[in-house]
A and B are shown apart, each in its own frame.
Chain A
Amino acid sequence: MPQSLTLGAPIPRRRRAPRSLALAFALLAPSLVFLGAFTYWPIIGVTLRALTQQRFGQRASWGMDNFARLFADPHFANTAWNTVAFAAGTILPSLALALFFALALRENGKFTAALRTILVMPLLIPLVAAAALFVFIFLPGGGLLDYYLAKIGVHSTNWLGNPDIALGAIIAITIWKNTGYYMLFFLAGLAGIPEEYHEAAKIDGAGPATRLRRITLPLLGPTIGFVSVIALVNTLVQIDHVIVMTGGGPSDSTNMILYYIYQQAEQNMDLGLASAATVVCVGGLLAIAVVGLRALERGIHYES
């Protein structure tokens, strides 16, 4: 059977899809050019750069110097720890809240729809815009939070200036920003659970708590896994509010891996260290991918 290799040729009138490798890659080429330049090559390039060491008075050579320096840097250890604390502090509450909102607002009606709209709104604004609003909310003394807390007798707090509290404030913003997004997934997941299951359980005398634990949560399992992976990636990547609100401070208490990379590259001009940190970050994301791939695949399946 003659195979058409060019776009201009008529499609063979067989129902079978052609096995044309050349045609496929012609169609994929525009994407592959960009992916090659901005995803694949950067990963290779940054790895090579991280493995290149430059000792004083010597020519550049291969070696682990950059990684040795990275892991010896107390700032890096601190940012890694902050990133873990930030992820843990953000993901659990936002997922719990998102699930709660989805369960409470799943029914269609004008009131529930309005509430869902409000919850999704933070998703639509830039994180730096959220930061601009929250700078005032967290302003000590005259800010919105302190203004209303003063009415119930709580004294003013330096929310963003106190190293023990600042990360909590950043976490609060992140929860506010992302919960509505995760709620959308849970709503979609809940809509996929047949009503009959609940009816049957009700007839058998199961209360709301039992039904939640025995029916809803297990059936939402894939969605929960899927949302967890998204949330994890988000906490690693979405740090715009840290950059504009605290600059990683006070006392490095809100510094994150991504901001550390930015600082090393832009402010210290230390590309070796920045590259090594990027490799660690990419490795972490790939590890998340491998671990979460199951959930991710099931999630994709579920959504489509």
Chain B
Amino acid sequence: MKVKNLGLLLAALATLLWLVPFAWMAVASMRPDVSGVLDLASLFPHGPFGWSNYVNAWKSGRFPLWYVNTILLCGGILAVQAVTVSLAGYAFARLKFRGRGTVFTLFLLQLLLPPAVLVVPNLLMITNLGLFDSLAGIAAPYCASAFGVFLMRQTFRAIPRDFEDAAAVDGATRLQVIWHILIPLARPGLAAFAVVSITSHWNEFLWPLMAVSQPTSQVLTVGLASFTRGAESGGEWGTIAAGTALVAAPLLVGFLFFQRRFVSSLVFSGLK
């Protein structure tokens, strides 16, 4: 029992270190920027506290635009993905066809080669398609998702065939079966996929940075990076902390509310 308690104690102390950046973000973002403050690094300042950093960040960055773009991007990707991964997942789960194993392996190839790696050819591709500098261009490489196909295949496989058979006896077509029976039953799988998809695209930086040059199509991460660069030269650390909180908050809050769903989705996402 002693080893166990010692381990728990050490883990608790180490976890405090993990908390420090978040703690500083919260504390510094609430302290109005006063130049010459020596203890800006302090995690336990005396105050005063206020929201002025958030106001500054909101004014000096284009947060409303970045939020809208990011939400459109994540939503758009997810909407297309939901269709592509459900159909392909069904094919791999329920149909027997020649070359199934080979095609599945070809799908899995995408897991290892995120668009960031293929940035040079993918840039040429979206330019040729006329999608450079648009949200659609950022989204295009993600519209097929090997991870999603894999997850939906597993999900469909876990659903007993009896439901489909019963529907088939009643004369349902294959699309009707997929739409009315399998998709509703596969909702937990789709939800897990949604968590992983939104998390990874909300947080992605390099590809959106490369695929877009005009400010009006920028997403939160790209906006934050340029915003931070500007504020750093002025030493406005409180504003940076507030801006960072604005970017990170939606997913963090979602995580705190739906922890179990996030965790099980993320564990499944090993092959994202």
Contact = CB atoms under 8 A, between A and B. Distances in A.
Interface of A: 4, 7-13, 15, 17-21, 23-25, 27-28, 30-35, 37-43, 45-46, 49, 97, 100-101, 103-105, 111-112, 115, 117-137, 142-144, 146-148, 176, 179-181, 184-185, 188, 208, 226-227, 230, 233, 236-237, 239-240, 243-244, 258, 261-262, 265-266, 271, 274-275, 278, 281-282, 285-286, 288-289, 296, 299-300, 303-304
Nearest to A244: B225
Contacts of A34: 84, 140-141, 143-144
Nearest to A274: B120
A12 B172 CA distance: 10
Contact of B87 (A28, A127, A262): A28
B124 interface: yes
B142 to A, nearest CB: 8
Contacts of A285: 112-113, 117
B172 A11 contact: yes
B113 A282 contact: yes
B42 A147 contact: yes
Contact of A124 (B25, B38, B120, B248): B248
A133 B244 contact: yes
A38 B115 contact: yes
Contacts of B228: 128, 131-132, 135, 244
A278 B203 contact: no
Contacts of B3: 208
24 contacts: A7-B173, A8-B174, A9-B174, A20-B95, A23-B174, A24-B95, A24-B97, A31-B88, A32-B144, A37-B129, A37-B140, A42-B121, A46-B121, A104-B8, A104-B11, A124-B251, A125-B244, A126-B247, A133-B24, A136-B240, A176-B18, A180-B18, A236-B117, A237-B117
Given A8-B173, A46-B120, A125-B203, A24 B112 contact: no
B159 interface: no
A181 to B, nearest CB: 7
Given A28-B103, A144-B41, A265-B119, A124 B199 contact: yes
Nearest to A147: B41
A89 to B, nearest CB: 18
A35 B154 CA distance: 20
Nearest to B17: A176
Interface residues of B, number: 112
Interface string B239-271: 011011001100110011001001100111011
Contacts of B109: 39-40
A152 to B, nearest CB: 14
Counting chain A CB atoms within 10 Å of each CB, the highest count among B20, B100, B248 belongs to B248
A104 B21 contact: no
Given A13-B168, A147-B42, A288-B112, A39 B8 contact: no
Contacts of A15: 161, 165
Given A9-B173, A126-B202, A176-B18, A30 B7 contact: no
Contact of B119 (A111, A233, A262): A262
Given A115-B15, A136-B241, 8 more contacts: A19-B97, A37-B129, A38-B144, A118-B19, A126-B247, A126-B248, A129-B203, A132-B244
Contact of A265 (B123, B177, B243, B267): B123
Given A132-B228, A258-B116, A303 B172 contact: no
Given A184-B267, A265-B120, A129 B168 contact: no
Contacts of B21: 122, 130, 133-134, 137, 176
B205 A136 contact: no
A11 B175 contact: no
A266 B210 contact: yes
Contacts of B58: none
B67 interface: no
